Amino acid sequence: MDSEILLWIAGGMFVFLMVGYAYREVTCPSCGKFFSKVVDKKEDIGRRYENVSVERQVKKNDGADPPNFETRVKEYELTFTKYLKHYRCKSCADTWTEQTESQTGKRFLSEHTRLY
């Protein structure tokens, strides 16, 4: 019974957060009307690159007891693009801009095994 109540509470919190996020994404900050936010223009204003490593433990097939593990490392270059979005409200004709950033690329660089 207690786990069902916790599940309902968690589900309610999730729905509340999603509605809050959607409200911010589709309303005009000036008049507050739903579904009045329109993107007029989206400008690419810059890029940045970031190298990341992804490590994964892999069990070696050497028959050892206890089993031996090795770490496999993959290197990637991520591309992040900054945008300047120009918005307009369909209801009150207010205009505003917001700066956003999103990952727009992932390039594989190398893979190697790290031995300990």
Beta strands in 60-115 (DSSP E): 69-89, 95-114
| pLDDT tens track for 79-97 | 999 999 999 999 999 999 9
| pLDDT tens track for 1-43 | 588 888 899 899 998 888 877 777 888 989 988 888 999 999 9
> What's the confidence (pLDDT) of residue 115?
67
Mean pLDDT of 42-51: 96
- What would the two tokens of residue 30 be? 């000036």
Cα Rg, the chain, nearest whole Å: 24
Distance CA 34, CA 36 (A): 6
Q: In the predicted model, is pLDDT for residue 100 greater than 90?
A: yes
Q: Are 73 and 58 in contact (CB under 8 A)?
A: no
| pLDDT tens track for 32-46 | 888 889 999 999 999
Beta strands in 5-68 (DSSP E): 37-59
